[in-house]
Amino acid sequence: MYHLTALVTLLAIAFYFFATINVSRARARTGIKVPATSGHPDFERAFRIQVNTLEWMPIFLPSLWLFAIYISDALAAGIGALWIVGRIVYFIGYSQAAAKRGPGFLIQAIAAIALWVGAIGAAVSRLV
């Protein structure tokens, strides 16, 4: 069973939901009306955090699950938890200033790439 990977998946979705709510709150706080996606730096940073998280989820989630299936539920969940930590660090840094987004981005990118490399390596090794 993949209980740990399922938990990490749900936590990742919860983080994305939080980022989405943060965009709505930033709209209200800055007066940016739908459908505008620019106009105030605080809103634009909140919007980019949410969209960047969405951009990474199709890389992260399948890689997470394939890694869990082919290699290890616990190891996938650990690396997946690191991805979430990276997203949180990214959120905190980018919320303050665009220049502060780098460390969180690096953490989550390394985690996602590790999951993808592990998953593809395991899948290919089973073909040979």
Q: What's 41's domain CATH number?
A: 1.20.120.550
Residue 12: both structure tokens together: 């990742």
Averaged pLDDT, groups of 10, the chain, 128 residues long: 98 98 98 97 98 98 98 99 99 98 98 98 97
Rg (CA), the chain: 16
pLDDT at 71 (0 to 100): 98
pTM over 0.95, yes/no: yes
pLDDT at 52 (0 to 100): 98
pLDDT at 100 (0 to 100): 98
The residue among 112, 61, 113 whose CA lies nearest residue 83 is 112
Distance CA 33, CA 12 (A): 27
Residue 28: both structure tokens together: 């209200």
Q: How many domains does the chain have?
A: 1
